[in-house]
Structure 1
Amino acid sequence: MMRKFVLTSQMFTGSVTFGFNEDGWLNYFNNEADFDNIQHGWLLNIEKNVFPRHISQIESLAKVIKGRLEEVPPDLSFDAFWDAYGKKINRKRAELLYKKMSEPQRLKCILSIKPYQNYLGRVKWRGQADPDTYLRNENYETDWNKQIQ
């Protein structure tokens, strides 16, 4: 799941959004700020190494420009789970189970989908569980990256 940060500052009008993948690497950048040529040059200057290519660099950028950095909360809605899971069966049952989950469980659940799907691609013999079964059996508690068979 991507983590997104919105950066604003008195040094420019508008905002800049950075998105980082599960490994912390930048995979999304949206500039809705009114930068002049000097500001663009400064931000993108490779030698100055200000542009955050990794999530570990985002806070230092905010400090340098005296900006305000806000993390955009992840979408933990049932629809976000439903879309990410992909197998569209037994929606009502899955939705009832999902609504009973705590926010940390929902986050863990959504974050576990991609590793689960990668696991299924590795083993080839196992089919994807119905979404209500995945939730009922708390399969999101499994570390799918460590599963071999």
Structure 2
Amino acid sequence: MTERLTPGDTAPDFSLTNDAGEQVTLSGLRGKKVILYFYPAAMTPGCTTQACDFSESLDSLRGAGYEVLGVSKDAPAKLAKFRERDSLTLTLLSDEDLAVHKAYAAYGTKKLYGKEVEGVLRSTFVIDEDGKVELAQYNVKATGHVAKLRRDLGLD
């Protein structure tokens, strides 16, 4: 497993397909602050709660200079359905081969119902305008995470 990222690390660059079939690269967002969050699966209860929370906070996050990107292993077509079904306004990215998940150490061993399994580690990264990790949070909770992140960023 890749070593966990910490503040000051260079965020691994990536090129992923979004829910509209377009390529999005981290390097293409230089000059902007980015909130990059990894979630297990589109259209599941916890992931829907988290995505809706980010969507509801998107205007104020963008007003504070942040672009929000959600990453899952789902195909772009499923992400498009997720976006439409829940009226999501943030960008959703597809990482079907898990390469970006692994580069960010957002995939690995976790406990699920008392058993150790390999899977997506719900994680959030704040990346500054120069591509450096400002904040790295692993194993976050779906519910209440956006409110906590806003407090951590001094936005509330």
TM-score, length of structure 2 as denominator length: 0.22
More RCO (CA 8 Å, sep 6+):
2
**Bigger Rg, structure 1 or 2:** 1
Q: Which has the higher helix share?
A: 1
Q: Which has the higher strand share?
A: 2
TM-score, length of structure 1 as denominator length: 0.22
